[in-house]
Amino acid sequence: MHGLLSVVIPAYNEEQMIETAASTIGAVLRGADIPHELIFVDDGSTDRTWRRLCGAAQRDTCVRGVHFSRNFGKEAAIMAGLAQARGDCCAVIDCDLQHPPETLLEMYALWQQGYEVIEGRKNSRGEESAAHTWAAKWFYALISRATGFDMSSASDFKLLDRKAVDVLRNMRERNAFFRALSSWIGFKTTSVSFDVRERAAGQSKWSTRALVKYAVSNISSFSTAPMQLITGLGVLMLALSVVLGGIAVAQKCMGQALEGFTTVILIQLFSSSIIMISLGIIGYYIARIYDEIKGRPRYIIADTCGDEP
C-alpha cells in the first residue's frame, strides 16, 4: 500500500531554509517512490519566507503553502498543516532539518506495517547550553508526570495515520500540546529514534521567556496539580497553626502571654504571600478557562499557495 504522505512543515522566519527543506525532503521521498505533498505553514514570518514559499510552490507541484496573518506559534502551525493535509498519513517535521528526513522513510515503512502513531524520539538533544539542558530536564520530568507518558525524549517529529489526524483535528482544545496529545490519543503506537542535527541555517526561535511560558502553559493544560498543591499547603498551615495556637493558649493560661511582635509580623507576611501565590495560580487557571471559552480560532490563514484544495 503506497498511501499519500502529507508532510507538515511549520516555518517561522526560515527564508534560508524553505528551498533547502523542500528540495531535501522532496528528494528523499521521491527516491523511495513515496507519493507525497509538502505543506509548509508560514507562521506569520516577518522575513521573505512567504515569497520563497510561493516560489517553491510554483516550481514544485508537491509543495503547498499556508500563510498566517501573524505569528500564532508552532502548535497552531502544526494544527493548520494537519487541517490542510489530504494524505492517508501525515508527518510533522521541522523546517530547519534538525529532524533527519531519512527517518521519514523508516516511519512510513512502520505505517505501512499498520502502526497508526509513530513517534520520533531524540537520541541526543544536540548542542545546547547547560542551563537549557537542565531546564528541559525539569520540564520533561514535570510534563511526564502530568501526562502519565514518558516525554523525556519526545519531539514534534511524528507520523500519524489519517485516523489519528482526524481525532486530533476534532479536539476543540485551543491550547493543544501536540507532542503530548499524540500520546494521549492512544492508537497503535511505536517509535523510532533519531539524532538531532545541527540547525542548517538561521537560528532557534525560542527565547528563554518563550520557553518558560511554553512550559507553564503546557503543564497547566495537562495537570491541575498546582491547585492541589494549594490545598496541600493549606492543610500544612492548618496543622502548624493548631500547634502554635495550642502553645499560645497554654502559655496564656499559665499567665504568660506569647511575647513578640516579630512572630506576628512573620506569620502575617508568610501567610499573605502564600494566599497571594494561591490566588495567582487559581487566577491562571481561570484565565485559561476564559481563553478556551471565548472560542477564538487557533490561527487565521491570510493566504495559501500551490495546488488549491
Catalog residues that contact Mg ion under the rule CB under 5 A: 96, 98
Neighbouring residues of 129: CB distance < 8 A, sequence distance ≥ 6: none
The least CB distance from residue 71 to ligand UDP, in Å, is 5
The least CB distance from residue 185 to Mg ion, in Å, is 25
Which position has the grid cell 505533498? 37
- 81 in contact with ligand UDP (CB under 6 A): no
Taking the least distance from each CB to Mg ion, the nearer of 98 and 191 is 98
What residues numbered 24-43 form the site for ligand UDP, per CB under 6 A? 43
Q: For residue 191, what are the CA distances in angstroms to 34, 179, 182? A: 20, 13, 12
Among 11, 28, 79, 143, binds ligand UDP (CB under 6 A): 11
In contact, 18 and 11? CB cutoff 8 Å: yes
Taking the least distance from each CB to ligand UDP, the nearer of 204 and 273 is 204
Neighbouring residues of 176: CB distance < 8 A, sequence distance ≥ 6: 75, 79, 168, 221, 298
Neighbouring residues of 49: CB distance < 8 A, sequence distance ≥ 6: 11, 12, 13, 14, 15, 18, 42
- 75 in contact with ligand UDP (CB under 6 A): no
Return the range that interacts with ligand UDP (CB under 6 A); candidates 134-142, 187-195, 203-211, 288-296.
203-211
CB atoms within 10 A of CB 5: 23
The least CB distance from residue 242 to Mg ion, in Å, is 53
In contact, 16 and 201? CB cutoff 8 Å: yes
The partner in contact with residue 226, picked from ligand UDP, Mg ion, none with C-beta cut-offs of 5 to 8 angstroms by kind, is: none
- 46 in contact with ligand UDP (CB under 6 A): no
In contact, 299 and 82? CB cutoff 8 Å: no
Map residues 157-196 to x or -, x wherever contact with ligand UDP holds by CB under 6 A. ----------------------------------------
Q: For residue 208, what are the CA distances in angstroms to 28, 131, 189, 211, 215? A: 34, 10, 32, 5, 11
The least CB distance from residue 199 to Mg ion, in Å, is 5
Return the range that interacts with ligand UDP (CB under 6 A); candidates 204-212, 226-234, 253-261, 262-270.
204-212
Interface with ligand UDP (CB under 6 A)? 10-12, 14, 43, 71, 73-74, 77, 94-96, 98, 204-206
